[in-house]
Chains A and B, each alone.
Chain A
């Protein structure tokens, strides 16, 4: 038993049992290592889910993050079916256990890059201001941090959203095509940042990709 497994506020594993998006119910399901399978992601593990466009990778992230419920089968956090969670439980999970970098950065366009990051960090109180500044520098956003997010390029928004996603403690981080708009250099920097934060917290990483995947040392690669 790992030293943290007795801590009821942590999630040690995410299990998928026969998961299938409802839209696929009446269609022939292409061969998949995820849909309709039994899978378990554990903390400390780094997993890549590779998919073609439209195979449902964003749906997978949305199901695990509690944004959508239109699926068959069950998703368990440790031994609890997530369909039993109420809103306050999900809110607590999203502050303490589950980080998510969606494919669409989803920043508030009227707030500056820095304000978007603070909006999350003020909620969790996770990072000191100095770390936020350091990461903004690291990802080459220093000159853009006081611009409204709506006026940043998609790649810049993606990097702001990445810092925002890391502004919380987590047991698992879901990365939905995190580097789709990043150049190889920024891909490497982002990967190092995520990896160091995940290892520091002994967290699991679940990343999806349609080709340009984030450069992490994956312990497992699944075809969706």
Chain B
């Protein structure tokens, strides 16, 4: 008979199948609850998130509140250099950049055969660091006159649901819109200088209520067509180091400033976070209790087998060999509970995913859930292995 079997027979004495099963079940329930909460959060988040691929969440676009004073020209709409300096000095600010406006006229034309459509419009630009688009899609080669543009999603909605249906024009999806070349007619205020360019929609943004072009194009066009007047920027973008800091809201309120975008669903998003957080917390607590069950069960078995462990060490068996039946028990039970938890989360997901898709959610990644499950199990196993080692060494001398 192999010594491994002999060892297991000796050391597994006093093992209670009921206690081990108790651990597996409670650990499975605990981890499954934590993982289900995390997975549901990942899957449902897209419903509430106002994330935008062009602008990071910790970037904040602010402008001055429009009041009648602005309209009458009594108060300034733009940010003076002193005001920008003041923002820069706030502890929650990593960087500030102004939006640069066009100092020339822009007329855009969609060449659509008989239905050509043209409109006056405006451009703004931001330093490239603040536009989160791969450089390949967001580059303008000087003189090429081929300009990538980011448009607010709202403008497309305005066209589709307001203008197009009224004027009998076809509606356009984001995909179609991106494929249509825009002819841009740029001219100086007095009409003496002109430039022709070709625009290409590089993307649609939820959070930027503007029409954005690359900074170097804006500089080139302003230089060529502009009047040279220095205008104060009406909006600035802030790279916030501590998103969610109450100091930010206090600062904005005190100066009559407002942050654009991403406020729409903050209440619901907060509620989702809170509820899934509470559920994950309860699951975490159950996981912790199950860890205690396994730890105490193994401790109890080892305490009852203390003399056997001591005798084996006396024969010359290595501490790791003597601990291995218990280590295997901890690893198997932990891994078993984790597998059960993974399976149940995937089953649960099958159940809720289709109604969630019906609401327009895009399923999130399962990686965070898998990683947290693995982490919790490794923690459980690690704590138990450490406890087992300590107990074996504790049996070295009776």
Contacts and interface: CB of A to CB of B under 8 A. Distances in A.
Interface in B345-398: 393, 396-397
A88 B3 contact: no
Nearest to B313: A91
Contacts of A65: 314
A168 interface: yes
A110 B13 contact: yes
Contact of B318 (A69, A88, A115, A119): A88
Contact of B316 (A68, A91, A106, A111): A91
B316 A123 contact: yes
Contacts of A87: 313, 319, 393, 396
Contacts of B314: 65, 67, 94, 100, 106
Interface string B266-289: 000000000000000000000000
A111 B9 contact: yes
Given A106-B314, A123-B317, A68 B10 contact: no
Contacts of A95: 316
B318 A91 contact: yes
A29 B393 CA distance: 34
A120 interface: yes
Interface in B2-19: 2-3, 6-7, 9-10, 13
Interface string A106-121: 1010110001001110
Size class of B's contact patch?
20 to 34
A115 B317 contact: no
A120 B313 CA distance: 11
A122 interface: yes
Interface in B21-64: none
Nearest to A107: B311
Interface string A56-84: 00000000010111000000000000000
Contact of A108 (B2, B308, B313, B393): B308
B315 A122 contact: no
Nearest to A96: B316
B3 A124 contact: no
B6 to A, nearest CB: 5
Interface in B291-320: 308, 311, 313-319
Contact of B315 (A69, A93, A120): A120
Contacts, number: 55
A70 B230 CA distance: 90
B1 interface: yes
B6 A115 contact: yes
B315 A119 contact: yes
A122 B6 contact: yes
Contacts of B317: 91, 123
A45 to B, nearest CB: 23
B320 to A, nearest CB: 9
A111 B10 contact: yes
Nearest to B7: A119
Contact of B3 (A92, A93, A123): A123
Given A68-B397, A118-B1, A94 B315 contact: yes
Given A87-B319, A110-B13, A122 B311 contact: no
Interface in B186-202: none
B154 to A, nearest CB: 71
B9 to A, nearest CB: 7
Given A115-B6, A118-B3, A108 B311 contact: yes
Contacts of A106: 311, 314
25 contacts: A67-B314, A67-B397, A68-B397, A87-B313, A91-B317, A91-B318, A93-B316, A94-B316, A95-B316, A106-B311, A108-B10, A110-B9, A111-B6, A111-B9, A111-B10, A115-B1, A118-B1, A118-B6, A119-B7, A120-B315, A122-B3, A122-B6, A123-B315, A123-B316, A124-B316
Interface of A: 65, 67-69, 87-88, 91-95, 100, 106, 108, 110-111, 115, 118-120, 122-124, 164, 168
Given A100-B314, A106-B311, A111-B6, 18 more contacts: A67-B397, A69-B397, A87-B396, A88-B318, A92-B316, A94-B314, A94-B315, A110-B9, A111-B9, A118-B6, A119-B3, A119-B6, A120-B315, A122-B3, A123-B3, A123-B315, A124-B316, A164-B315
